[in-house]
Amino acid sequence: MNKRITHALLCLTLLLGLSTPAFAEETPATVEVTLNGEVAEGLSATIYDGTSYLPFYAGTLAIRPDAQINWEDGQFVATAADFTMTARAYDHYLVVNDRYLYIPDGIKADPDGTIYVPARTLAVALGAWIGWNDRVELCSGGVPLTAEARPYDDATLDLMARVITHESGYQPLAGKIAVGNVIMNRVNSPSFPNTVYEVVYQPGQFPGAASYEPNAESILAARLCLEGANVVPGAYWFNGAGKSCWASRNKATIAVIGGHAFYG
């Protein structure tokens, strides 16, 4: 038995034999997983706040048995001929082939070092079909996400990151994403221009924002919202929380994140 299989079995044994809570004060429920129509022996999904999570190591190998998984620089790195995927405990994203997938509640971890990612996120990353029928149902054989198929270009990423830095450079990650969401919500609305560039440069909306050098977390937030992460659906305006503006007087408050209120 090679080291990779031994390690995978050890992770599964630890997962199934845990007597202490994995994520919360109460031990979360687990459900069965099927792969290509057959019960995935030794693999179960853990339900956390209504979301099914899979152990990253065992879940990745179930979908892609050809993957090699190593521990490097404080994170798991899974590689195969067509993908490189990384996962770090408590990060709010999974990275595959330079594509950033948002995980609102973060990657979970047990004290033994087993980490868990949402089943749907892992399936999307690796091109697997996923369904739910009182259990997690997976079908492998698809193609992982690729950098070439990103739904944005480098210029759009740079502009979005600059605006996020200018408007919310010291806000939490969710607050940075929310600012990017306001831009994308406008792009997707018939009431506003159709591109990030046109929204940002609409008169009086984000003056001077493009001149700011983006910081690292703003670039991350820009990647996530351009990939589809949306923490404030329906928000088209924002302002300092508690400050009066046209939107605060005329529109409904959708959320307050960090120092900003978002309106729609």
Per-residue pLDDT at 64: 98
Is residue 150 pLDDT above 60, yes or no?
A: yes
Per-residue pLDDT at 2: 42
Q: Whole-angstrom Cα distance, residue 46 to residue 29? A: 6
Residue for token pair 């609305």: 189
Is residue 6 pLDDT above 50, yes or no?
A: no
Per-residue pLDDT at 8: 39
Per-residue pLDDT at 24: 47
Residue for token pair 């082939």: 97
Task: Look over the chain and give the mean of its residue pLDDT values, rounded to a whole number.
Answer: 91
> What average pLDDT does range 120-147 have in this prediction?
97
State pLDDT tens for residues 13-63: 333 333 333 444 567 799 999 999 999 999 999 999 999 999 999 999 999
Per-residue pLDDT at 210: 85
Per-residue pLDDT at 4: 41
CB atoms within 10 A of CB 199: 22
Per-residue pLDDT at 62: 97
Per-residue pLDDT at 28: 78
> What average pLDDT does range 209-219 have in this prediction?
93
State pLDDT tens for residues 64-86: 999 999 999 999 999 999 999 99
In the chain, which segments carry CATH 3.30.457.10?
3-146
Helices (H) and strands (E) in the chain, counts: 8, 15
Per-residue pLDDT at 26: 62
Per-residue pLDDT at 27: 72
Is residue 189 pLDDT above 90, yes or no?
A: yes
> What average pLDDT does range 89-95 have in this prediction?
98
> What average pLDDT does range 204-223 have in this prediction?
93
In the chain, which segments carry CATH 1.10.10.2520?
154-263
The single-letter DSSP state of residue 44 is E
CATH entry 3.30.457.10 includes domain 3-146 = yes
**pTM: predicted TM-score of the whole model, two decimal places:** 0.86
CATH architecture group of domain 154-263: Orthogonal Bundle (1.10)
77 burial type by CB count under 10 A (0-12 exposed, 13-18 middle, 19+ buried): middle
- Residue 111's pLDDT band (cuts 50, 70, 90): confident
